[in-house]
């Protein structure tokens, strides 16, 4: 205390004053000893008096501070005890050390000391607190009321030991949550309902039955809207707009959009089934944005083949339904219009780059060769982007190189990037997913992009395309390109090799004209036959070696059957021609009696697990593969999974398949 007092007494300002007075006193003493002695005496007295009064003031100030601290302690204690929010203090092991009356009121118990907090509030996870350095927030429900819980760790130190206590504050937010839920439930939702291929469905019925189909369709949709409390408005013969609340949408999701099945039951002699595509937009920042989400969702539903509902919540899309195959359109008007537009784009370009998907197959390469023939016919330079060969296209590539007429046709990614300018036209075939293309960088460089694809649309799509020819009912990209070739000129011409490449692509994706084969598929095949395609030569492109045959046999022998409906198998890691083995193995497994779907997995030399999925049409393997990050068609699909083991992927696949079978009632 004395040291502190001395410090208080000898602060710099006083020192300066005393020094000045001492100097003046010495001067006075030099000239007049009497006045000097009087001055010295006065200085000594003043120093003594100042020291004495300073000590008194210091003691009074200390007493005041101590008294104030005691008052503050009492005030703090009183404030905490009478705090209008529940609060408790816990030991580090969760025992209650102290609590106020408000806390006792919310748990409706007394004498809580030394009880475990988890016994009072089971859904309060105390272990998380120990891993947090700062305040932590969580929500709990107590006796029907909701609380936002704030807690932090406090360190108490004294001379003997240090200990930790947990301060826990309960801030009730029941009314806020109820208001938030009400706002969430009443949020506006826009929906667009479209009848799939309505004109074709009506044409498939007798003329006397068509009015009945229209009337029953409108009645069914009106009754559905009334039952869920939604407003529906017809905008054209096959399109409706729906307004509902978010709570209504949640009910529809729980029912898996049962209206899709209900509409499918309408039958007045129509040979083609009635199906709906529903696009719903939610969580837009504005009503206009929600409507844009709905329009994007209906485009996605139609691009996936229809007969399904798509809910778009900002960047996330959820899918329901999708059990039916796309209805083939008999008219080729769209193909003719696309061909004219493609012709103009090609002729206005300095050069053309063509690419398919990674690990290309015969359909991707066949379609690329077909597009190349169009460019050659229009006398525009074109190249196909291909990084490397693989077992499925090896024989076709050998035929191309052996012919000698396609020098410098193929370019690797680095070269393609250098060739791409603002006047380059980039044509993507057999895929619409940017990450699946042979060279994703080209999509960012090219200013003009054309997409030609037949796969059901996924969430990921090439949005920059100036021309999109996307038909999910088509058997293959090769079929679509074949139709375009017929409209490029009055007398289309392609070489025999190009026609065989296109026919091989159709043959591959239809599994020898068994799956996804329509009238237009056979018409395209007939056109290619007229242009010189040799079916025997095409057959040779599918021949494999002995090792591949044995590997396929091992896949069939080791298959695991689930629910007597699904076959799952895998092949050895690092085998040659992996894509061929798993694809053909999945095809062969469908020949087993009772099998409705098959999945074959294999791990490539690049460490990626490849999955090939097939079905007889009753099971939508596209939906199953999408949950693994893949996609495809309702009966032919696949996926590529990085950084995983085959055993882990099989386990996940089995869970997905089991859940899917329960959802669809198989």
d(CA 567, CA 556): 9
Q: Is 454 annotated as a binding residue?
A: yes
- What CA–CA distances, in Å, run from 118 to 90, 122, 265? 11, 5, 54
CA distances from 141 to 81, 89, 112, 123, 171 (A): 23, 19, 19, 8, 11
Torsion sign across C-alpha atoms 281, 283, 289, 293: negative
Q: What is the DSSP string of 170-206?
A: EEE-HHHHHHHHHHHHT-EEEEEEEETTHHHHHHTS-
Query: What gap in Å lies between CA 156 and CA 162, rounded to an integer?
Result: 6
Mention every residue, 6+ apart, whose C-beta is less than 8 A from residue 418.
none
DSSP assignment string, 585-600: HHHHHTTSTT--EEEE
**Residue 34 to residue 28: CA distance in whole angstroms:** 9
Is 470 labelled as part of a ligand binding site? no
Distance, CA of 283 to CA of 246 (rounded, Å): 9
Query: In angstroms, rounded to a whole number, what is the distance separating the alpha carbons of residues 606 and 644?
Result: 12
- Which among 369, 258, 460 is positioned nearest to 278, based on CA atoms? 258
Residue 216 assigned to a binding site: no
How far apart, in whole angstroms, are the C-alpha atoms of residue 644 and residue 656? 16
Ligand-binding annotation for 363, yes or no, is: yes
Residue 655 in marked binding region: no
Q: For the stretch 54-70, what's the b/e string if a residue is b when 16 or more beta carbons lie within 10 angstroms of its beta carbon? A: eeeebeeeeeeeeeeee
Report the candidate in 440, 421, 438, 422 with the shortest Cα–Cα distance to residue 430. 438
The DSSP code sequence of 81-116 is HT-SS-EEEEETTSBEEEE-HHHHHHHT-S--TT-B
Beta strand pairing call for 382-385 and 410-411 = parallel
Cα 69 from Cα 63, distance rounded (Å)? 10
| Residue 534 labelled as part of a binding site | no
Instruction: Determine contact, residues 548/580, Cβ cutoff 8 Å.
Output: yes
Which residue positions form the known binding site for Mn(2+)?
357, 361, 363, 430, 454, 509
Which residue positions form the known binding site?
357, 361, 363, 430, 454, 509
């Amino acid at each position: 205390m004395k040291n502190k007092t001395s410090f208080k007494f000898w602060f710099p300002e006083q020192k300066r004053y005393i020094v000045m007075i001492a100097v003046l006193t010495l001067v006075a003493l030099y000239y007049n000893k009497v006045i000097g002695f009087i001055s010295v005496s006065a200085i000594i007295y003043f120093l003594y008096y100042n020291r004495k009064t300073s000590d008194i003031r210091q003691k009074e100030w200390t007493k005041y501070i101590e008294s104030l601290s005691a008052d503050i302690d009492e005030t703090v204690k009183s404030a905490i005890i009478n705090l209008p929010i529940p609060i408790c203090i816990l030991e580090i092991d969760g025992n209650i050390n102290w609590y106020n009356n408000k806390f006792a009121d919310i748990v409706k118990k007394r004498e809580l000391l030394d009880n475990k907090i988890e016994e009072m509030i089971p859904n309060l996870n105390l272990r998380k607190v120990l891993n947090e350095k700062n305040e932590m927030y969580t929500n709990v429900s107590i006796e029907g009321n909701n609380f936002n819980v704030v807690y932090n760790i406090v360190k108490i130190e004294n001379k003997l030991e240090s200990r930790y206590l947990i301060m826990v504050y309960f801030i009730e937010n029941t009314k806020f949550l109820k208001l938030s839920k009400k706002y969430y439930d009443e949020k506006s939702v826009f929906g667009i309902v479209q009848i799939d291929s309505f004109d074709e469905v009506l044409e498939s019925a007798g003329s006397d039955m068509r009015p009945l189909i229209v009337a029953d369709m409108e009645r069914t949709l009106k009754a559905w809207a009334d039952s869920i409390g939604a407003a529906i408005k017809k905008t054209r013969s096959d399109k409706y707009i729906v307004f509902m609340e978010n709570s209504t949408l949640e009910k529809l999701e729980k029912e898996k959009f049962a209206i899709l099945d209900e509409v499918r039951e309408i039958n007045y002699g129509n040979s083609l089934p009635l199906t709906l595509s529903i696009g719903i937009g939610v969580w837009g920042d504005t009503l206009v944005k929600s409507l844009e989400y709905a329009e994007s969702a209906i485009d996605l539903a139609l691009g996936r083949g229809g007969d399904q509902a798509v809910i778009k919540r900002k960047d996330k899309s959820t899918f329901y339904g999708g059990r039916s195959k796309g209805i083939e359109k008999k008219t080729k008007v769209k193909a003719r219009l696309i061909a004219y537009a493609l012709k103009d784009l090609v002729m206005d370009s300095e050069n053309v780059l063509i690419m398919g998907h990674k690990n290309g197959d015969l359909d991707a390469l066949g379609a690329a060769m077909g597009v190349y023939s169009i460019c050659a016919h229009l006398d525009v330079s074109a190249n196909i982007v291909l990084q490397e060969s693989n077992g499925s296209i090896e024989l076709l590539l050998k035929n191309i190189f052996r012919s000698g007429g396609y020098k410098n046709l193929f370019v690797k990614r680095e070269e393609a990037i250098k060739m791409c300018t603002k006047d380059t036209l980039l044509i993507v075939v057999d895929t619409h997913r940017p990450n699946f293309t042979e060279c994703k960088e080209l999509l960012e460089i090219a200013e003009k992009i054309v997409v030609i694809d037949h796969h059901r649309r996924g969430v990921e799509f090439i949005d920059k395309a100036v021309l999109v020819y996307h038909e999910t009912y088509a058997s293959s990209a090769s079929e679509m390109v074949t139709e375009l070739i017929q409209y490029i000129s009055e007398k289309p011409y392609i070489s025999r090799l190009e026609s065989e490449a296109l026919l091989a692509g159709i043959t591959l994706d239809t599994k020898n004209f068994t799956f996804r084969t329509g009238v237009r598929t056979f018409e395209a095949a007939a056109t290619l036959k007229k242009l010189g395609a040799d079916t025997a030569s095409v057959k040779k492109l599918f021949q494999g070696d002995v090792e591949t045959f044995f590997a396929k046999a091992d896949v069939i022998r080791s298959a695991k059957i689930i629910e007597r409906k699904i076959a799952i198998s895998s092949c050895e890691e690092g085998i040659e021609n992996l894509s061929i083995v798993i694809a053909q193995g999945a095809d062969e497994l469908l020949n087993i009696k009772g099998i409705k779907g098959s999945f074959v997995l294999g791990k490539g030399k690049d460490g990626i697990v490849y999955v090939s999925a097939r079905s007889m049409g009753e099971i939508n393997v596209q939906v199953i593969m999408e949950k693994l990050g893949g996609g495809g068609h309702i009966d032919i699909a696949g996926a590529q999974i990085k950084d995983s083991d085959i055993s882990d992927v099989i386990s996940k696949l089995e869970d997905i398949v089991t859940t899917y079978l329960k959802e669809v009632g198989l």
